[in-house]
Structure 1
Amino acid sequence: MYQTIVEPRVSETDGVGHINNTTVPVWLEGGRNKLFSLFMPDLSFSNWKMIILKTTVEYKAQIYFGTSVEIKCWVKRIGNTSLELYEEIWQGNKLTVQANTIYVNYNVQENKSEIIPDHIREELERHLYIEQ
């Protein structure tokens, strides 16, 4: 599992007093930075590989300014050219968000998907989600 701590900002708080739901996908993406580094060690946009195909977000509870949140990211499935992530956001002891995201390993220059290399696949397998 990849873990990232985020400190909610005032600017992310909406008029109802909780973190705006448009902020959550940005936080989830921030929790994937270590995963991005596997595919693009220099994080160069000219050689970017991870193209998002689909994401679903389920809001379980409100998130508030003033208390840090923890983003947890697991690998749920590894295909030939794609992978599915399972993600959670926790604030305190409360699960606030569950998400699933599918990425494809994509060569932008050649405009086609590519097989996930074995050395990356091995690292991804270390972060597999085991349903409880």
Structure 2
Amino acid sequence: MYKTVIEPRVSETDGVGHINNTVVPVWFEAGRNEIFRLFTPDMSFENWRMIILNTNIDYTDQIYFGTSVEIHTWVEKIGNTSLQLYEELWQNGRLCAKGTAAYVNFNVEKQVKEPIPDSIREELALHFKD
């Protein structure tokens, strides 16, 4: 599992005192940074490989400003050219959101998807969800 700690900002809080629902997809994406680095070690957009295909989020509890949140990211499936992630957002020991994201390994220059290299597969396999 990859773990990312995020400190909620005042600007992410909505009029009823919750973290706005539009913020959670951004936080989940932040939890994927180490996976992005596997595919694009220099993190440059000129060499970017990870193209999102689908994302789904279920909101299970309220999220508040003033307390950090943890994003937990697991690998659920690895295909030939794509992978599916499972993510959870926790605050104060409560599961507040969960979701999935699917990505494809894509060569932007050639405009084609490409197989995920074995070395990346091996690293991703260390983070499978039980």
- For residue 101 of structure 1, what is the aligned residue in structure 2? 101
- For residue 80 of structure 2, what is the aligned residue in structure 1? 80
Give the distance between the partners of 1:47 and 1:41, measured in 2 at CA. 9
List per-residue Cα deviations over 1:78-102 (Å, max 9, x = no partner).
0000000000000011000001000
- For residue 8 of structure 1, what is the aligned residue in structure 2? 8
What's the TM-score once normalised by structure 2's chain length? 0.99
- Helix, strand or coil for the counterpart of 1:64? coil
- For residue 61 of structure 2, what is the aligned residue in structure 1? 61
Give the distance between the partners of 2:109 and 2:83, measured in 1 at CA. 21
Runs of 5+ in structure 2 lacking a partner?
A: none
- For residue 49 of structure 1, what is the aligned residue in structure 2? 49
Count the aligned residue pairs: 130
The letter for the 2-side match of 1:72 is H
- For residue 121 of structure 1, what is the aligned residue in structure 2? 121
The letter for the 2-side match of 1:54 is N
Q: Structure 2 matches for 1:3-42, cutoff 5 A? A: 3-42=3-42
What's the TM-score once normalised by structure 1's chain length? 0.98
Q: Which runs of 4+ in 1 moved over 2 A?
A: none
Give the distance between the partners of 1:26 and 1:100, measured in 2 at CA. 13
List per-residue Cα deviations over 1:22-66 (Å, max 9, x = no partner).
000000000000010000000010010000000000000010000
Give the distance between the partners of 1:63 and 1:118, measured in 2 at CA. 38
